[in-house]
Amino acid sequence: MNNNFPLKKLQNIRTPYYYYDMELLESTLKKVSEEARKYNFTVHYAIKANANDRILEMIRSFGFGVDCVSGYEVKKALEAGFGNKGVVFAGVGKADWEIELGLDNDIACFNVESVPELEIINEIAASKGKTANVAIRINPNVNANTHHYITTGLEENKFGINQWDLEKVTDAISKMKHINLEGLHFHIGSQITDLTTFRDLCVRINELQKWFISRQIYPKIINVGGGLGIDYNDPNQNPIPDFEAYFKIFNDFLELKPDQEVHFELGRSLVAQSGNLITKVLYVKEGVKTKFAIVDAGMTELIRPALYQASHKIENLSSVATEEKYDVVGPICESSDCFGKALSLPHTSRGDIIAIRSAGAYGEIMASQYNLRELPKSFFSDTI
């Protein structure tokens, strides 16, 4: 049983729901802020990880910007009180209305992923008599060594501009009167736990920057993206990622020019460990090799295990009995609706409260109403 959870209070709330540890979130944000400030780095929160109003309120209080990948996220960031000059907008498929929204609100930068996108941004900016700040998102062909669904920096991925097209891109920009090239943008993937991967990214960025400088192009901003992973296996032991080592790598290996800024787009590492999906056991059913613990949360509340074969630590909060093996599964009519197989849990019975840990990123934000289920509510440690 995990003593970090107020079990008596949690038992009185209708499941499933998300439970956020606001003290842990604050400690995480404080650590990020302290470590980034050592090197004068700028951090944008990747809002796609979690857009809960309370979460955004606390993130905003630390002065971070926002990394958006849709017009809806841009709109949400502005409504949540983030300043327009801290909003950056990425994504391979920006619709015209989304570009117009960014221009109308004078956001800081568009991270651009193709020549056709550049042409449309230039055209729309011209129609408004504006100039769009852009960063070229370059595909550096660096392997993030993570799940292939969340790898974004290889040549076969849809993201970014390949290096052999850079001449074409810079030539195009030189002819565009309503485009201002602010910087270079990179993002190689998510849930990266081997920090040497980021060192490899720095080496590649240095090589690419030399290419630009040799053509008299001096990027003001080097945006290295995000991707820092968390410990899904042992969130109790490692609740806060090693931001100290992470930021130090970029300080040590990036070859910056005078007055260049380094920007980051961190999402999961800021919010994941503070969130939990709380669910209740409906039935325990005998299986061939293990028992099935059938809970009332499903892939509709946390899709990562079904989508990425992701593993989350699962705890029975209300039992301290002898451990047995269980497949923890949800009620959704899909065989992929499974949170974990052959897990060792204390003897589990109907009504037990289960915590699925590290669900603060890509949990609530990806919830769906498949099977016509209601979207679950959120509760917070400081108000429960």
| Tens-place pLDDT, residues 356-374 | 999 999 999 999 999 999 9
Domain 7-17+273-380, CATH class in plain words: mainly beta
**Domain boundaries of the chain, sorted by first residue:** 7-17+273-380, 23-272
Q: Are 107 and 74 in contact (CB under 8 A)?
A: yes
Taking 80 as the threshold, does the pLDDT of residue 144 lie above it? Answer: no
**What whole-number distance in Å separates Cα of residue 138 and Cα of residue 157?**
11
In the chain, the DSSP E strands lie at 17-20, 42-46, 65-68, 87-89, 109-112, 132-139, 161-162, 179-185, 221-223, 261-266, 275-286, 291-295, 314-316, 323-329, 338-346, 353-356, 377-380
Q: What confidence score (pLDDT) does residue 289 get?
A: 86
**What whole-number distance in Å separates Cα of residue 219 and Cα of residue 60?**
27
Q: Are 109 and 221 in contact (CB under 8 A)?
A: yes
Instruction: Dump pLDDT digits (tens) for 94-133.
Output: 999 999 999 999 999 999 999 999 999 999 999 999 999 9
Tokens of 361: 């990123």
Q: What is the CATH number of domain 23-272?
A: 3.20.20.10
Phi, psi of 185 (to 5 degrees): -125, 140
Taking 50 as the threshold, does the pLDDT of residue 264 lie above it? Answer: yes
**3-state SS, residue 341:** strand
Side chain identity, residue 72: Y
For the whole model, what pTM was predicted?
0.94
Residue whose pair of structure tokens reads 């613990």 in the numeric block: 293
Instruction: Dump pLDDT digits (tens) for 14-25.
Output: 999 999 999 999
Q: Which residues contact 54 (CB under 8 A, 6 or more apart)?
A: 20, 22, 378, 380
Taking 90 as the threshold, does the pLDDT of residue 173 lie above it? Answer: yes
**What whole-number distance in Å separates Cα of residue 315 and Cα of residue 334?**
23
Instruction: Dump pLDDT digits (tens) for 331-348.
Output: 999 999 999 999 999 999
